Structure 1
Amino acid sequence: MPNDTIPYLYQLQNANYSSLSNTNFKIAVVDDDSSGLTSSQLKSLNDTGKTVFSYLSVGEAVTYRDYWNSSWNNNPPDWIVGQNPIWGGYYVKFWDPQWQDIVINDAVAMAREGYDGVVLDVVDIYTVSAVYDAYGSISGARAEMANFVGRISDAVKAVNPDFKLITNNAMDLATTNGSPNGTPNTAYLSKIDGINAESTFYLSNNAPTTWESGNLQYLQYFTDAGKVVFSIDYPTDEATQQAYITKAIAHGFVPFVGNTSLSQLDSTNYQILDKLPAGALDSMLASGSSDQPTPTPTPTPTPTTPTGGDNIVSGSSGSETINGLNTRDQIYANDGNDVIYGNGGSDYIEGGAGNDTIYGGADSDYIFGGTGNDTLIGGAGNDGLTGNAGDDNFVFYKNAGNDWLNDFQGAGSAKGDIIQIASDIYANVGQVLNNITYSGGNAVIQLDGSNSVTLAGVPRGLTANDFMIIDANTGQPVGSNPPPTPTPTPTTPTGGDNIVIGSNVSETINGLNTRDQIYANGGNDVIYGNAGVDYIEGGAGNDTIYGDADSDYIFGGDGNDTLIGGVGSDGLTGNAGSDKFVFYKNAGNDWLNDFRKSDGDKILISSDIYSSTSQVMQNVEYANGNAIINLDGYNSVTLAGVSQGLTATDIQII
């Protein structure tokens, strides 16, 4: 008896929760706007064994999407370079930061909403003459698109590491020079999970294509890299449909027979699952679903040779004790079970592999545990803490500041992180649970006085199993013996991340798609962090700083600065001057460290989030000595230390 389940359903019109609930399928690609699926509906589909991807165009803008501003009808943005004469969409300069932010924000929103993946369409826009002429060359535009896809991948997998990214067509991105006989573009292939190839074998008039052989050469690069190849052809007569299915499966592809508008389901597709080899879809199926996806650990970067900047310490591959100076240190401990002391100054510390114990010390530090079961003690100051892989312990004593914990995964998760709180703050876990509030998609644990820790992306559900009370003097669970105190030994600095040092004149600085450290120095600079977890200082001057994708740490410095964190849970500090903090859709859960009304600081919020300042004020709440502005969805910005008094005059709608 034929299987009544479709392995791969691609339907961008007339697909909704009702139709998807009543159709047996393994994987479906739908249009998020057209389908109207909610997070709870996506979870319900997941619970019945169904995997759902959303469609997203990266190369054309259309007027019916939420991002479209009606003023663009008469005054289009300069990143529009022409119109598709067939479909009516607008060709875009896809490398433009505003367009990239629109696309990345939409992709991240899909990951947060509960979709299992995204199919990127119009990736091959770089082959349109109006586009590659605007860029300067087709080869350059092709390389730029590969980088753009990589940025999207980094952003969505930072939200959910199991989120799948599929590209539609653009097969020549599989090689470094675009040739079917070229060198594999391993950097690009590593960023995607599969490809959707259209009209490889037959046209909609049932005639065979003339490019089958060439396309198969390209697609071999994807199968060799272990990527799933989905195939859509549009034949209409049954004999050609059967020939197409046979050919596609023979080449290891997962086929779908579609109509050209992708608006209805052909019953021929019910015959396909029985013909596929076992396990053909396993890597693409949802591994499970929840209301909020689990965040991915931040990858450990490959150190580069530093050319300037702060005190840099690089550890060995063995277990050791590392002492930072009383300045701003960058410490990369590498392998081993290390003990690390940041000491004074705002430090950046990576534990690397091994079970590390990291003390931030005084001031506001940024600490990454790395792989292994790590213990992170931020100490005084407003610290940013990321455990990364392993069962991690986050320890809080009195006067810990207002800390931000980026990736807590507690009891019941695949990790099992623990929050340890000193006994002179709370005597028992019950007291801790009575001092937790949930706001803006985060959990906020009130500590002593005005101190707190915010657990990013934990919208609810903390239990006693997530906490441990430790002796305030020994650091041990109450009633156990204290450990010996390690003796610190300094090491010699030898390496660090990609470091960019600006001049004292006005300039534009572009970070790489890795973890950058950018020190712009003097001048009215424009700075783009691009993908990766970046640390950016504007220095003196009136700077404009874009964090872009991932969770960034941005310091404006002296001057009237504009800070745009972009996607990810960012830490923002304006420093001196009248600063502007700008928030668009899908900005993440940001932490603004020094909002000062007395300096004339302003919060700028996109008009597609709120249309008036009065709407903003209706979505402000105060908790644990901070002001929390709830943005769209689970996104928010927390104004540290602003316990009351935020008014409409502090807000601007843009």
Structure 2
Amino acid sequence: MIHRKFVFLAVTLSIAFCAQCAYAASAPQYLYQLQNAQFSKLRDSNCKYYVVDPDDSELTASQLTTLKGQGKVILAYISIGEAETYRDYWQSSWKEGNPAFLEKENPDWGGNYKVKFWMPEWQTILLNFLRTHILQKGYSGLYLDIIDAYYYFENQRPSAKQDMVNFISRIRAETLAVIPGGKIFPQNAVELYENVGYRQLMDGFGVEDTWMDGDKMQPSQQTKYVLNILKQAKQDGKVVLAVDYPKKQNNICTFYQKCNAEGLICGAFDRDLTGKLQTCNA
């Protein structure tokens, strides 16, 4: 779905999470936390997969070495389809239309601007940022959000879908150049998996809202379509991190039941990704 603006909130990531992360059927089996993901909590948890914001968590190269030494896969979250005013690459003089790649501000997430992601200037800025601020610190790889930005541009640019695949190809090449074996996990836009070339660019998926949008059930045909693609991805050896954001206890339990039945790595979290763990207590 969409990335999250930093809001420093209290986190309820307790030591109990260590036990829950041992692939329990009724609790998160990985950690997706973009706000205040502290090194000590990551170190003491026993999940394998973690998605954190590199600017918010401020993990050092030494800390990443420690975490990876524990067998953990630490993925750095970054939006590639929108520019974020709270990243170091942002210039105070930027505004809609200047630079040319900068589009309208996202009305749902202030400080986030659509970008013409195929433009060389944007790709150079983002690749430089990835190299110097993330990859050189030693993250396990990247968790790429706003892959579905191509929807926004398809009417005016018929090649937008392929442009996104090409951009991810450049990101993967840059990642592997800095981190041999570095992993790429795009989030959402699962239909891109039908592109054989795209499949070769990714090590896994992040998928939101497969069964529910908050506490509202998704249309059954939509869920079926997504699951068919995820099943193929699993057969191809891809890792699937599934996240829904239900609040009601019965829906949290339904999510874990359905997600575990598909053999995915499951996690129910609050949509702001503050570290609150949604567990089934039934």
* Structure 1 pair 255–270 and aligned structure 2 pair: CA distance change class (3 A): farther
Say if 1:257 and 1:171 are closer, same or farther in 2 by CA, change over 3 A: same
Cα distance per residue 1:494-548 (max 9 Å; x no partner): xxxxxxxxxxxxxxxxxxxxxxxxxxxxxxxxxxxxxxxxxxxxxxxxxxxxxxx
Query: Following the alignment from structure 1 to structure 2, what is the Cα–Cα distance between the partners of residues 242 and 269?
Result: 5
Residue of structure 1 aligned with 2:127, choices 104, 107, 111: 104
Instruction: Show structure 2 runs of 5+ residues with no match.
Output: 1-16, 22-28
| Paired position in structure 2 for 1:45 | 67
Find the counterpart in structure 2 of residue 293 from structure 1: none
Q: Give CA-to-partner distance per residue, 1:389-447, whole Å, 9 cap, x none.
A: xxxxxxxxxxxxxxxxxxxxxxxxxxxxxxxxxxxxxxxxxxxxxxxxxxxxxxxxxxx
Q: 1:101 to 1:5 in 2, by over 3 A?
A: farther
TM superposition score normalised by structure 2? 0.84
**What's the TM-score once normalised by structure 1's chain length?**
0.37
**Is the counterpart of residue 250 in structure 1 residue 261 in structure 2?**
yes
Does the CA-based 8 Å contact 1:42-1:115 persist in structure 2?
yes
Contact 1:4 1:270 survives alignment (8 Å): no
- AA aligned to 2:205 is I
1 CA distance for matches of 2:193 and 2:281?
31
For the 8 Å contact 2:18–2:44, the answer to whether it is kept is: no
| 2:198 alignment partner in structure 1 | 188
**Counterpart code for 2:260:** I
Q: Distance in 1 between matches of 2:278 and 2:207?
A: 21
Q: Which residue identity lines up with residue 140 of structure 2 in the other structure?
A: D
- Which of the two has greater helix per residue? 2
Spell out the pairing of 1:145-544 with structure 2 (5 A cutoff).
Answer: 145-175=164-194, 185-204=195-214, 206-210=215-219, 211-266=222-277, 268=279
Structure 1: unaligned runs, 5 residues or longer: 176-184, 272-654
CA distance in 1, matches of 2:189, 2:178: 25
Distance in 2, Cα, partners of 1:267 & 1:123: 26
Structure with higher RCO (Cα < 8 A, 6+ apart): 2
Q: Secondary structure of 1:29's match?
A: strand
Does the C-alpha gap of structure 1 residues 190 and 209 become closer, same or farther in structure 2, counting only changes over 3 Å? same
Could you report, residue by residue, the CA deviation over 1:576-599 in whole angstroms, capped at 9, with x for unpaired residues?
xxxxxxxxxxxxxxxxxxxxxxxx
Q: Which amino acid aligns with 1:50?
A: K
**DSSP-derived class of the 1:71 partner:** coil
Q: Deviations over 1:199-245 (max 9, x none)?
A: 001121x2211121222233233223221111000011222212211
Q: Note closer, same or farther for the CA distance 1:16–1:76 as it changes in structure 2 (3 Å cut).
A: farther
Matched residues in 1 for 2:172 and 2:106: separation?
A: 26
Task: Describe the superposition over 1:24-44 as per-residue Cα deviations: whole angstroms up to 9, x where unpaired.
Answer: 322211000111111011112
Letter in 2 for 1:202: M
Structure-1 separation of matches of 2:108 and 2:225: 25
Match for residue 4 of structure 1?
Answer: 19
Secondary structure of the residue that 2:35 maps to in structure 1?
coil
Partner of 1:119: 143
Residue-pair matches, total = 255
* Alpha-carbon distance between aligned partners in 1 of 2:116 and 2:226, rounded to the nearest angstrom: 26
**1:18 maps onto 2:40 in alignment:** yes
1:59 is displaced (CA, Å) by: 0.2
Q: What is the aligned-residue RMSD (CA, Å)?
A: 2.2
Greater radius of gyration (CA): 1
In the other structure, the counterpart of 1:393 is: none
Paired AA for residue 4 in structure 1: A
Output the CA distance in 2 between the equivalents of 1:64 and 1:227: 32
Is the 1:256–1:269 Cα contact (8 Å) retained in structure 2? no
After TM superposition, give the deviation of residue 265 of structure 1 in Å: 2.6
Deviation at 1:18, TM superposition (A): 3.1
Cα distance change on mapping 1:156 and 1:269 into 2, 3 Å: farther
Q: Once the 2 structures are TM-superposed, how far is the Cα of residue 262 of structure 1 from its aligned partner?
A: 0.6
Taking a change above 3 Å as real, the CA distance of residues 48 and 221 of structure 1, as seen in their structure-2 partners, is closer
Bigger fraction of residues in strand: 1
Query: Share of identical aligned residues, percent?
Result: 37
Contact kept? 1:3, 1:270, Cα under 8 Å: no
Q: CA deviation at 1:3?
A: 7.0
Q: Residues 97, 74 of structure 1: CA spacing in aligned structure 2 closer, same or farther, 3 A cutoff?
A: closer
Q: CA deviation at 1:270?
A: 11
Q: Check the 8 A contact 2:18/2:45 in 1, yes or no.
A: no
